[in-house]
Structure 1
Amino acid sequence: MSDHQAPEPHETNDLAPVDTPVPWRRVHPVSPLVRGWLAVVAIAFVYGQNTLSSFFGDEEPTPGPEMVSEAPLMLSLLIGAGVLVLILLGFFLSWRFTKYQITERHVNVNSGIVFRQQRQARIDRVQSIDIAQPLVARIFGLAELRFDVADSGSAAMNLAFVKLSEAHQLRNEILARAAGLKDPAAPAPLTEPAPGHGTGIETPPEAPQPAAAQGLGASERVVAAVPVGRLIGSILLRPSTMIMIAGLIGLGIGMSMFEGFAPFYLLPAFLGMAGALWNNLNTGYNFKAAASADGLRLSYGLLDTRHQTVPPGRVAAIKVSAPFFWRKLGWYKVAVNVAGIGGAGNEAQERSVLLPVGSYEDVLAVLSVVLPDPGVEAPREFFASAINGAGTTAGFVVSPTKIRPLSPLAYKRQGYALTDTALVARNGALHRTLAIVPHARTQGLMLRQGPLARRFGVLDLSLATISGPVSPLVHQLDVAVGRELFLEQADRAAAARKQTDSNHWLGDA
């Protein structure tokens, strides 16, 4: 992705093949209004309020039938109309100078009136494309495309706004080219699973179809959905929510001891808590995960809706978590580290969630898409033991009993297991977590040992992946076991990377 000033895009690399000439297209004419409607409303409100207060703001009306002179009022209205015309002219010029182009190898977006700007993203580096619909855009039936590219910590480029149907078409076309399909327009429905075959998490087709035959305009198969009642219950049972509620109650009791206290003083704290709860509800409302040819498609949102795609092969790490108050209800959360999203902000955290709250069957269904080959013969039983089990069942290597004084509750659970395709790390006793790192996505390994760990003869093994909410860690291993795992996992990761093409994840045979 490049960002530089240029009157028209030109290919500067003489050694690379030149893209076939492709016509430029424009965004929807209403796009500038959708982006700037709030500024228009604010200007109109302030100007109108000042105008009305200038002419009709006298507290005592002037006696007699005389009215306010129409000339100054008419002049003020004309000035307001002129400002509105200038704003509309700016909107028109903004639309006129904004255009986009999709070539065989790049997505180009040109914008700017005085200062021209050209943005370019390489299609083979596109990780995913989100379709976002802010509230005003939904009213006009428009959507925004947000591109995530490799080595970018946030959205690399936005295309706003186009019709919703056109946005879906563009996403399918670009993702098809990013996947390496030579015929992106070839549609085909998503094949239903054939019973008795596959990994055991979710039975895939008996024989995979050629990539070009699948197409990325394929139909979707919903694998998990979040009911509203379950979402609200999960929000209320989160430890963070309980801490906020307890803190607010404690603050109210403490402040009530002072003379002159009024409940109104707690309004800022209450609004802060309500904002956090609303954000969780808005981002999890109507959440659906669907399997398609281009990976796992996520859709969610109450006021602002988003359609997000997690391509296969781009997931670097997976975390399944079970908070203490969720466990009796059998609820779990699934989050991932995905190339292109990165960062630690709220938006990046939200986009990294594959399942905000779901049952064990929902977890297996999601894992079947992002981890189609777990590398074990009985995945269902393996993950049941990995998430909720303890000890050495399912091939887990756990912490030695000598560290019981350090981890009296977790020492029987924390450990790791190796499959043919991934390393699985299990941690936590009250708040249980499971981290899954494909061998091919292991970017580095690190052994850590603090003073207490040295005293007990144990160490931690940390696995480095791309940035995200998952921080894989094998906790408190015996020193000899940890060093052996360190050396063997480095060899496994190197061998797996040699067999993986990280760009064309659906490439033609």
Structure 2
Amino acid sequence: MSELPPDDLESPEEPGTPAVPAGAQTDGRRTHPLTALVQGGIWAGLGIVGLFNAFVNGDTFSLFSGAIAVAAAVAGGLLIGLVAGFLRWYFTRYFIDGTELRIESGVIFRTSRRIPYERLQSVDIDEPFLARLVKLSELHMEMAGGGESRSTLRFLPLDESRQLRRVLLARAHGAGADEAVGVAEEQREVITVVGPDRIIIGTLLSLDFLFAVAAIVTLLIVGFAVPDAWAVLGGIIPTGFWLVQIIGSRVIAQWNFTLSRGSRGLRIERGLLSRSSQTIPYERVQGIAVVEPFIWRKLGWQRLSVDIAGYGASSDEENGVSDTTLLPISDPPLARAVAEELIAGSDPDAVERTPVSRRSWIFAPIGYRFRWVGASDRTFIAREGWISRHADLVPHHKTQSVALRQGPLQRWRKVATVEVHTPPGPVNAEGRHLDASVARDIADQQIARAPH
């Protein structure tokens, strides 16, 4: 791997030309040449997926025509991907200036993506399966701001991605050019490693997995046992896709899940086929959702998800990795410790609870007994659920707005709902169907606690 070029050199200036900022790279750097090969492999895979979708939708192939179609899909996808990947590689350069990272790309229409260091929020590394085979990776950079806050560099050698992440994070925290180039990898403390065995057991004991398996078994029994019921076997394909999606997102994507701690935040590393390294800066945490699925609750297990400024409720579409999973499966003491580290005063057992009104039983005849809200000096907490239990934790200083909602049925029952708004994500902090007067008092109190 070639070292990143020194970014503390000034380029020579010619008379009459604008001054070049200290630390600017005027020539830029390209990504790795194997980008074209990886892109070709991705397009070949997409060709196979398209062919499979055609088969599922009713297109029939003989053995010979099927083989020709597969070969054409692979060859066509590979050729298109190689050409597109080569053009992307050839026309993409990145520059490390004294004040920003700049990415210039585009074959016909040129674009220049500028990432000022002071707006840089996090830098994550992904290793998609095909790229991982040739030891390449993607670098994802999140900026503070709207929906176009993410920028990506594809594909770089893994060591170069790690080095570039160190340089960018050092610059984002105010380090000078000399300090940023020489910065070493931060020593991190491992909080927990969730082993594959526990991930697999947790998935097997989840209700949606059991429902998917039960649905497939039922369809098979009906299809073979009932005359003229073969049509129901068509339902196996979408149910099978659902089952594969569950296994992919919870087992393969979360394989060997490692949570570690550094001076600037937590880091998550996970994945069997594709590997990702995601950093969660402390200051970007907007809220935490604690989920206790029905069977897990009997075993004392929980799942933690997190609202991160800029991420929203998204997931990595290519790798199937949720950006919001903080702990895929955990014992309650560890879950409370991690939540408390990110959001002080987040222990649900340490707050005074306000239950929902008994008049709200009409909206949830059983579930209303398990709903309550509470607040500590630093955190708002809303809890609900009798099958799958949810607790949503929102720091007061991260509250974006507070709403009091009352529909016609709620007015009839003299109840109302308090909503504490955070950025889009897994956290949904609502006190539903409280006494109307109590709900108004809670909303006023939360508004007073929120930053002004």
**What TM-score bracket applies, with the shorter chain setting the length?**
0.7 to 0.9
Partner of 2:377: 420
Paired AA for residue 32 in structure 1? A
Partner of 1:331: 301
Paired AA for residue 327 in structure 1? R
Q: Which sections of structure 2, spanning at least 5 residues, go unmatched?
A: 1-18, 48-63, 65-74
Tell me which of 240, 261, 267 is aligned to 1:291: 261
Tell me which of 149, 159, 169 is aligned to 2:143: 149
The Cα shift of 1:39 comes to 4.3
TM-score norm. by structure 1 comes to 0.70
Partner of 2:201: 233
Give the 3 Å change call, closer, same or farther, for CA 224–185 of structure 1 in structure 2: farther
Partner of 1:29: 33
Give the 3 Å change call, closer, same or farther, for CA 250–32 of structure 1 in structure 2: same
CA contact (8 A) 1:99 1:109 kept: yes
**Is structure 2 residue 143 aligned with structure 1 residue 162?**
no
CA contact (8 A) 1:298 1:307 kept: yes
Distance across 1 between alignment mates of 2:353 and 2:173: 35
Give the 3 Å change call, closer, same or farther, for CA 484–97 of structure 1 in structure 2: same
Distance across 1 between alignment mates of 2:442 and 2:46: 61
Matches within 5 A, 1:29-48: 29-39=33-43
TM-score norm. by structure 2 comes to 0.78
Distance across 2 between alignment mates of 1:108 and 1:457: 57
Tell me which of 306, 320, 323 is aligned to 2:276: 306
Matches within 5 A, 1:70-109: 94-109=88-103
Give the 3 Å change call, closer, same or farther, for CA 359–40 of structure 1 in structure 2: closer
Partner of 1:464: 421
Distance across 2 between alignment mates of 1:438 and 1:247: 41
Partner of 2:185: 217
The Cα shift of 1:151 comes to 3.3
Give the 3 Å change call, closer, same or farther, for CA 346–35 of structure 1 in structure 2: closer
Paired AA for residue 165 in structure 1? D
Distance across 1 between alignment mates of 2:33 and 2:235: 45
Paired AA for residue 217 in structure 1? E
Give the 3 Å change call, closer, same or farther, for CA 226–425 of structure 1 in structure 2: same
Moved over 6 A (4+): 40-43, 86-90
The Cα shift of 1:30 comes to 1.8
Paired AA for residue 35 in structure 1? Q
Question: Cα deviation per residue 1:6-50 (whole Å; 9 max; x = unaligned)?
Answer: xxxxxxxxxxx985341122222222222223447999xxxxxxx
Give the 3 Å change call, closer, same or farther, for CA 480–349 of structure 1 in structure 2: farther
Distance across 1 between alignment mates of 2:148 and 2:342: 21
CA contact (8 A) 2:220 2:233 kept: no
**Is structure 2 residue 354 aligned with structure 1 residue 360?**
no
Question: Cα deviation per residue 1:430-484 (whole Å; 9 max; x = unaligned)?
Answer: 3211111111111111111233322332211011111112111112222222111
CA contact (8 A) 2:222 2:232 kept: no
Matches within 5 A, 1:108-257: 108-153=102-147, 156-180=150-174, 185=179, 217-256=185-224, 257=226
Partner of 1:434: 391
Give the 3 Å change call, closer, same or farther, for CA 180–437 of structure 1 in structure 2: farther
User: Which structure exhibits the higher relative contact order, with contacts defined as CA atoms closer than 8 Å and separated by 6 or more residues?
Assistant: 1
* Count of residues paired in the alignment: 400
Distance across 2 between alignment mates of 1:403 and 1:228: 42
The Cα shift of 1:417 comes to 1.8
Kindly name which structure, 1 or 2, has the bigger radius of gyration based on alpha carbons.
1
> Per the alignment, in what secondary structure is the counterpart of residue 419 of structure 2?
strand
The Cα shift of 1:428 comes to 1.7
Distance across 2 between alignment mates of 1:87 and 1:414: 52
**Is structure 2 residue 245 aligned with structure 1 residue 271?**
no
> Per the alignment, in what secondary structure is the counterpart of residue 172 of structure 1?
helix
Q: Which sections of structure 1, spanning at least 5 residues, go unmatched?
A: 1-16, 44-56, 58-79, 189-214, 387-393, 496-509
Question: Cα deviation per residue 1:37-82 (whole Å; 9 max; x = unaligned)?
Answer: 3447999xxxxxxxxxxxxx9xxxxxxxxxxxxxxxxxxxxxx9xx
Q: Percent same amino acid among aligned pairs?
A: 31
